Structure 1
């Protein structure tokens, strides 16, 4: 952990910089908070509320009629997790907390967005959730609309935007989107209605791939195929979204606080694009797990892609650490993006096992402050 970046800053100076930054444009730090992490891994009260400009509470769901539902009522409501997260604004009045909506298992977004009455139910119940639990807006995590859904996705966002603009102050509307725009995204139209795009610039390589590859490479590799060069790295995805009609000041580049691991077909061949037999023993280790438990692994810095990977025996993992996160944040700033998005806050070194508590998220802030 490169904690020397933080030692020279006084507590007062740090707080003043954070306070001024969260009100500035172009410096978003959007942090996804997974509700189940609130039990013990990341109780909201233990988090530094000044390290995020926005927290997206993951997740609520939708039913077949389009109404919002609790993902885990015992946790979200009975244990008060909604309020415990939205109450972080008492520590950071500039913080905005959004409720993120998903429908991964049932995949109900297509049918809801296609039906005017169900869209109305969605909008109405969204308003009720926001007002009841003190959220500042909604984040749509539809993974992902197809070409047949494109117009309906626009209609859903347009109707949400119309309702949200009636609030005072206006409620925020964002969406988590795939790394590269395709026919499911009418980018110029959805840009009109969204305050932010949270671009999931990670999961480029995984067990579905034919060989090892970085989870979130910043740049292309010289051994990449043409498709990989133009689609499977952060810089390419940002370029593709801009070329499709998205505006930089609404775009947040995703940062992965986890890695993707593989099992090597031959332990003696352990570079990029090495053959694999499947996922690693621990398929998606968090940054905390890697920094605290993978010290015996061999670390390699990929100078082309600006990312590290590690290997031990037949296990291989591509991940992000202090060096690669620094490179990514600087790149986002150089492209005049709105900022960055973190998936997810629970993947950080929350208890200081490798250095400073929440060290990776503090580094993100430090890089932005000093850019």
Structure 2
């Protein structure tokens, strides 16, 4: 009997230890419209590198109903069905519909969460979206409760919304995730952390965007200390480690230096850096753009992050080494896993060497 009990305990422990960590791959479907080597569609996705594929984004209308933000791409081109079809390549892949995002704002979500009828509209439309298209769950990316046109009641209303979604999803086995602001000041104003954690399968913590050109000086997009502080804050407020997913940005924030001879972190800048050839947004460059530049590159070990500069252009980003530091921290805290924002700005074509270098680094640390 004693030997049997020991064997059962060992078996249970091995199952816990061997449980696969999450690697959640966000996909900004609009990258289909980029030109040349920046164009990204379903054919560019390696389904074996992700446990979850987060199809971004859907929006809502004023009544709380979920709607497509690009019906031509989602349905006419068949991107949704093609994304769900990736489960033929990886039968364990979960494909999630992501609702929200920065451009959707907060006002409509605040109104929906605070109104019972609009919440029911949202939940019913979510069920229809998932059932009709073969999605495995929903990721709600409200940026952010109690901010950008929201109000203080958003914090408790968000808990109510998530509880009602969870109850509606339970008969179907759908997963429910959320994407959340990372830092203490943002998170404490937007979330009742312990309460929301009860109702979701996992929490994608957006541990990036800690600095940008609007600050007036150069800074690191995701320095290790800021990432660790954010995760430790979420843990301290009652978020279970096994529901926290650490976010990695496959992009950098770029700056135009005020004085090209002052090119260190904290140096003054006069605004956003030049746009990259694929992404086309000033102040923002994909890793697949950064790695092609022959800029002078420095790895700052105090921040466990690289930066690069050329003339009056300066960029902070993540590379393979900085991602390794982040994954070591995630493992040390026994987190649920990691996510990337987003697939289409990793070096998915392998123009600078190995394809998907950042995503593969995450997999090597967490899964392989």
Is the 1:26–1:336 contact (alpha carbons within 8 Å) kept by the matching residues of 2?
no
Tell me the distance in 2 between the aligned counterparts of 1:266 and 1:25: 51
Secondary structure of 2:189's aligned partner: coil
Tell me the distance in 1 between the aligned counterparts of 2:114 and 2:21: 35
**Deviation at residue 83 of structure 1 after TM alignment:** 0.7
Is the 2:27–2:56 contact (alpha carbons within 8 Å) kept by the matching residues of 1?
yes
Tell me the distance in 2 between the aligned counterparts of 1:161 and 1:367: 31
Tell me the distance in 2 between the aligned counterparts of 1:149 and 1:369: 36
- Tell me the residue number matched to 2:26: 32
The CA deviation string for residues 140-180 of structure 1, in whole angstroms up to 9 with x for no partner, is: 0100001331111111101100001111xx11000000012
Is the 1:201–1:255 contact (alpha carbons within 8 Å) kept by the matching residues of 2?
yes
Q: Is 1:244 paired with 2:250?
A: no
CA pair 164-105 structure 1, distance change in 2 beyond 3 A? closer
Instruction: Give the alignment of 1:1-371 within 5 angstroms.
Output: 24-25=18-19, 27-38=21-32, 41-102=39-100, 104-105=103-104, 107-146=107-146, 147-167=152-172, 170-180=173-183, 181-219=187-225, 233-282=226-275, 283-292=283-292, 294-295=293-294, 297-369=295-367
Is the 2:26–2:340 contact (alpha carbons within 8 Å) kept by the matching residues of 1?
yes
Tell me the distance in 2 between the aligned counterparts of 1:137 and 1:212: 38
Structure 1 gaps of 5+ residues are 1-20, 220-232
**Deviation at residue 300 of structure 1 after TM alignment:** 0.8
Tell me the distance in 2 between the aligned counterparts of 1:324 and 1:96: 27
Structure 2 gaps of 5+ residues are 1-14, 147-151, 276-282
Is the 1:26–1:337 contact (alpha carbons within 8 Å) kept by the matching residues of 2?
no
Secondary structure of 2:291's aligned partner: helix
Tell me the distance in 1 between the aligned counterparts of 2:174 and 2:189: 28
**Deviation at residue 69 of structure 1 after TM alignment:** 0.4
**How high is the TM-score relative to the length of structure 2?**
0.87
Secondary structure of 1:216's aligned partner: coil
CA pair 209-39 structure 1, distance change in 2 beyond 3 A? closer
The CA deviation string for residues 250-284 of structure 1, in whole angstroms up to 9 with x for no partner, is: 00010000000111111111111111111111211
The CA deviation string for residues 27-82 of structure 1, in whole angstroms up to 9 with x for no partner, is: 11100011222457222133210000001100011000011100100110111111
Secondary structure of 1:259's aligned partner: strand
**Deviation at residue 24 of structure 1 after TM alignment:** 5.0
CA pair 39-89 structure 1, distance change in 2 beyond 3 A? farther
Is the 2:29–2:41 contact (alpha carbons within 8 Å) kept by the matching residues of 1?
no
- Tell me the residue number matched to 1:12: none
Is the 2:212–2:219 contact (alpha carbons within 8 Å) kept by the matching residues of 1?
yes
Tell me the distance in 2 between the aligned counterparts of 1:320 and 1:35: 22
Secondary structure of 1:125's aligned partner: helix
Tell me the distance in 2 between the aligned counterparts of 1:313 and 1:144: 36
**How high is the TM-score relative to the length of structure 1?**
0.87
**Deviation at residue 89 of structure 1 after TM alignment:** 0.4
Tell me the distance in 2 between the aligned counterparts of 1:177 and 1:314: 33
Tell me the distance in 2 between the aligned counterparts of 1:280 and 1:209: 13
